[in-house]
Amino acid sequence: MIVEDHDATRDSLVAKVSADPALNVVADVATLAAAKRAYERHRPDVLLVDLQLPDGNGTELIGAVSGESLTLVISVFGDEKRVVGAIRAGASGYLLKDDDAKEVSVAIHQILNGQSPISPAIASHLIAHFQKRITSQTDVSLSQREQDVLMLASKGYTYGEIAELMNVSANTVGTYTKRIYTKLEVNSKSAAVYEARRLGLMDD
Amino acid sequence: MKPSPTIRVLTLAGLVVVSIGILHMAHLIDQPDATLDEYRIETMRIVESHSATPPVDAEWLDIDADTVIGAPIRRDNFNSSWLAIDVPAGDYDPQYLALYLRVAKANVAVYLGSRFVSSSGEMQRPLPFYLRPLYVRLPISANQSQPIETVYVRLAREGGYITPNEVFIGPADVLAAAWRSERLYGLWLPAAVATLMLALASSLLVLYFASQRRFTYYGIYGVIIILWALHSIHTLVDRVPMHHWTWFTFSYLLLWWVILTPAFANRFFDLGMKTLERSVIGIGVLLTIPILVLLAKHDIGSLYTYFAYGWVPFILLCLVIVLGQYAYASWRQWSFESVGLFFVCALGLVIGVRDYLFDWTTWVPGTTYYTKYASVVQIAYINVLIAKRYARSAHDLVTLNHTLEGRVQEKARELEEGYEERRILERERTLSQERDRLMRDMHDGLGGQLIQALAMSEKGNADEDLRESLERALIDLRLIVDSIAPSNDDLTTLLASFRHRSKRVWEKSGARLHWDMGDLPTTSLSPEQSLNLLRILQESSTNALRHGQAENIYVTTRNTEGHVRVEIRDDGSGFDPASAKAGFGLANMRRRAEEAGMDLAIDSGSAGTRITIDLPTVPNDVEDDAGSH
């Protein structure tokens, strides 16, 4: 399922996804409201979601379906901050608007295999995030290897190179990244719960 | 942490022992010297007479000194009383003989036989308040055939008395020593303490008023000391300016200081038993007013007696009630200081009861009041408490000042940091907005058109130069957008982003990229520096891929003293720096490096090209700290 308000981009994404015989586009919509309805009807495995929608923010949809379906954020270069926001809400990865069919197909298969892509800018954001939040007790912290992955990714090394430097397979690096994303999501949810408790919105 | 009941009980037991010790010490001081005992006069004769010289022929009444213990000789109806004492025979040098009256509350005149020896003061104006020991040398001449003579002692009129069982005749040195010691303990010590206390009281009252009457306990304590000093004024002056009955009664009123002590303790330890304390003091004041009125109108010994019988027990009862409450409160809010003060007050109560019984009954042994000892202990203890509290407050003040100063500095720093942070955020926000706008323009406007133009040029077999120019324009536009990404002020992130951005180009070219990023310090590049560096990188990689047909490209960063080095090396065919086209590109790179404040070195030959860029590193403690966490 594809959620994108730009007609041209949506059409081109539909075409790129459909080019892979293993993938099937069950719905393509332009608004958040339509996306919610379509999601209830089709329950897709993977959603490609644009963040800036005319009737709201795609992050909301990502948070709502997190745990049920996998999502990829449709982004552009330099948009890493928003991508990190989406990952906090539960997104598994991102696509670039100008990715070609092959790249789109690879990205979707990657997240279906429990792996996630990462860019240096996203890695930098995550390093800063986890450094800032070591004080909170409820937070899940990163393992040493996960920290290594982030550090190398932030320096621009590719999965292949990181795998070589760490003596693991490239797939494992993708799995680490997925785990880092999950921890980020857990932490941001525990922070939300903490805030809610603090404000008295939750009893326990 | 409050101590366990066991420790409390042990403390109380210890304090009981200390109190008994103090009582015992008072008793010891009160006991006359054992060597003195053998010179004590057992019997004497007494007569009341108006005579100014020894009435040798009067009808003398024999008395046994011990039988009149506690009922001192008081004769009010005559001008004076006379005592006749026979000088006992003893194993001493008659040339050094003395008379010692341990408790004299009257002026006396001493005669040896009919011969006047000495007088302690005038006879017509007695000193009813001035209780002191008297010592008189008896000049018995060496050639006297009859060494045993009679000593006549005339007591001045009205109210003056001596205690008959405290009369001694013996060797001058022994009696003088006893007299000196009695004067020290009974007179000078209380006088010195009273003087000191009055000085202390004045400073405490100044403290009380200077503190805008915030510390009530200073005021109460000042009043306590003044009352106490007034109460023992007879040790300081030999004449109080009021009639002696009035004075006696008034000095009982001054016992208020006793009851004020628990009031002081209550405030000092903040025990909060105001209601009880106020009602006790209120009743006391109500009882005092009519008595003072009566005192002003009358001069009556009967009122004094009635008053002394009634007032003192009332004060003691009040003290029992207030102390009981105080004991309960200080047991609950246990502190050693407050329990100690309770004991000091309780000691005052016990001694007060003892003195009262000593004054009005014959049950209590001793020769003098003990309250003076209790009050010295009490006031000394309170002094220690106040001094300790004062020292603690002074210390707290210094600490607080110190802390405050630190906190002010911290706040100032926080504000500064907050301001700096806001400034950075503001800048980031502005940059980010600008970037968004540029990105939109690139995707939808300028960039879109460039892409279209590029596609058209490819279809229409347009001029190679035009196509390349379009491509360059598109790339440069992307670099501009990248250069203002907020995270790209860091060199490593900038290089990493550049690689990520150029991923597709690298993949298409088929060249192998060797990426080797050393640990670099965090840098803070301006957008201009970032853009210049990106353009240099772009130019270098384009050169390597397009013109040099390189198979391997090495990108390396190293941190060395004073600068960071970025090296881009390829194994392509190199180029001739002299050729017009290459020269133009190189000049551009040089200009950009110069603008960005970096050193650029280009070395090209048949074995490949090596471009090194050196960036000066500015030591930045704050960022280094943040990076090391």
Exposure string (b/e) for B394-431, b if CB count within 10 Å is 16 or more? eeeeeeeeeeeeeeeeeeeeeeeeeeeeeeeeeeeeeb
pLDDT reading at B266 higher than 60: yes
Instruction: Give me the pLDDT at residue B307, please.
Output: 64
Kindly indicate the confidence band of residue B334, based on its pLDDT and cuts at 50, 70 and 90.
Answer: confident
A131/B443 CB distance under 8 A:
no
Contact A124 B490 (CB under 8 A): yes
CA distance B409 to chain A (A): 24
Q: What is the predicted pLDDT for the residue at B127? A: 57
Show residues of chain A in contact with B523, CB under 8 Å.
none
Closest A-chain CA to B486: A78
More confident site: B599 or B33: B599
Chain A positions touching B492 (Cβ under 8 A) are 154-156
Task: Evaluate if residue B445 carries a pLDDT over 70.
Answer: no
Query: Between residues B93 and A172, which one has the greater pLDDT?
Result: A172
Using the Cβ of B214 and the Cβ atoms of chain A, whether some distance falls under 8 Å is answered with no
Q: Using CB atoms, which residue from B485, B515, B629 is nearest to A78?
A: B485
- Note the pLDDT tens digit of each residue in A102-120: 888 988 998 888 888 888 8
pLDDT higher than threshold 50 for residue B238: yes
As a residue count, chain B comes to 629
Any A CB within 8 A of B508 CB: no
Confidence category of residue B623, pLDDT binned at 50, 70, 90: very low
Q: What's the pLDDT score for residue B382?
A: 83
Q: pLDDT by residue (tens digit) across B548-565? A: 678 888 889 888 877 888
Check if the beta carbon of residue B326 is closer than 8 Å to that of residue B266.
yes
| A141 interface with B at CB cutoff 8 Å | no
Q: How far apart are CA B224 and CA B380, in angstroms?
A: 13
What is residue B12's predicted lDDT score, i.e. its pLDDT? 82
pLDDT at A203 over 60: no
pLDDT of residue B403 exceeding 60, the answer is yes
pLDDT band at B628, cuts 50/70/90? Answer: very low
Q: Which of A78, A154, A157 sits opposite B515 (nearest CB)?
A: A157
Is residue B387 pLDDT above 80, yes or no?
yes
Average pLDDT, chain B: 77
B515–A158 CB contact, under 8 Å = yes
Does the beta carbon of A165 lie under 8 angstroms from any beta carbon of chain B? no
For position A200, what pLDDT does the model report? 56
Question: Å from A40 to nearest chain B CA?
Answer: 33
Strands of the sheet with B97-104, listed across from one edge: B132-138, B97-104, B167-171
Task: Please tell me the distance from the alpha carbon of residue B49 to that of residue B32, in angstroms, as a whole number.
Answer: 31
Q: Do A80 and B481 touch (CB under 8 A)?
A: no
pLDDT tens digit sequence for B576-591: 666 656 666 778 888 8
Quick one: average pLDDT of B452-456?
69
Among candidate residues A122, A152, A98, the one with its CA nearest the CA of residue B478: A98
pLDDT of residue B72: 44
Mean pLDDT confidence for B610-620: 77
Chain A residues within an 8 Å CB radius of B495: 155-156
HSE-CB for A126 with a 13 A CA cutoff: 33
pLDDT digits (tens, 9 = 90+) for A4-58: 888 888 888 898 899 889 888 998 998 988 999 999 998 999 999 988 888 888 8
Is pLDDT larger for residue B73 or for residue B484? B484
What does the alpha-carbon distance between residue B499 and residue B490 come to, in Å, rounded to a whole number? 14
- Whether residue A157 lies within 8 A of chain B, CB to CB, comes out as yes
A46-73 average pLDDT score:
87
Mean pLDDT of all residues belonging to chain A:
82
Q: Which residue of B has its CA nearest to A119?
A: B500
Condensed to tens digits (0 to 9), the pLDDT of residues B100-112 reads 988 787 778 898 8
The pLDDT of residue B134 is above 80: yes
User: Is residue B157 predicted with pLDDT exceeding 70?
Assistant: no
Best of A4, A6, A50, A77 to mutate (most B CBs within 10 Å, chain B): A77
CA dihedral A182, A187, A188, A190 (to 10 degrees): 120
HEC letters along B394-420? HHHHHHHHHHHHHHHHHHHHHHHHHHH
pLDDT (0 to 100) of residue A48: 92
Question: Half-sphere exposure of A37 toward its Cβ, with a 13 Å CA cutoff?
Answer: 6
Summarised one tens digit per residue, pLDDT across range B287-307 is 777 766 666 665 555 566 666
B499 with A124: Cβ contact below 8 A: no
Task: Please tell me if residue A10 touches chain B, with a CB cutoff of 8 Å.
Answer: no
Res. B423: pLDDT tops 80: yes
Summarize the confidence of residues B146-173 as an average pLDDT.
76
Q: Tens of pLDDT along B42-85?
A: 888 888 777 888 888 888 888 877 665 434 454 444 456 788 88
Say if residue B627's pLDDT is above 60: no
Q: What is the pLDDT of residue A193?
A: 65
B352: alpha, beta or left, given left = phi > 0 and alpha = psi -120 to 50?
Answer: alpha
Q: pLDDT (tens digit, 9 = 90+) per residue, B350-371? A: 888 888 888 777 777 776 778 7
CB contact under 8 A, A120 and B493: yes
Q: Say yes or no for a CB contact (<8 Å) between A156 and B443.
A: no
pLDDT range class, residue B440, cuts 50, 70, 90: low
Mutation pick from B450, B483, B487 vs chain A, by most beta carbons of A within 10 Å, is: B487
pLDDT at A139: 63
Q: How far is CA A130 from the centre of its chain?
A: 17
Question: Measured between beta carbons, which residues in chain A are less than 8 angstroms from residue B554?
Answer: none
C-alpha span between B7 and A93 (Å, rounded)? 68
CA–CA min distance A135, chain B (Å): 12
How far is residue B277 CA from its own chain's centroid? 27
pLDDT in tens, A77-96: 667 777 888 888 888 888 88
* Cβ within 8 Å, pair A77-B443: no
Which pLDDT value is given to residue B620? 47
pLDDT of residue B19: 82
Residues B68-99: b if buried by 16+ CB within 10 A, e if exposed: bebebbebeeebbbbbbbebeeeebebebbbb
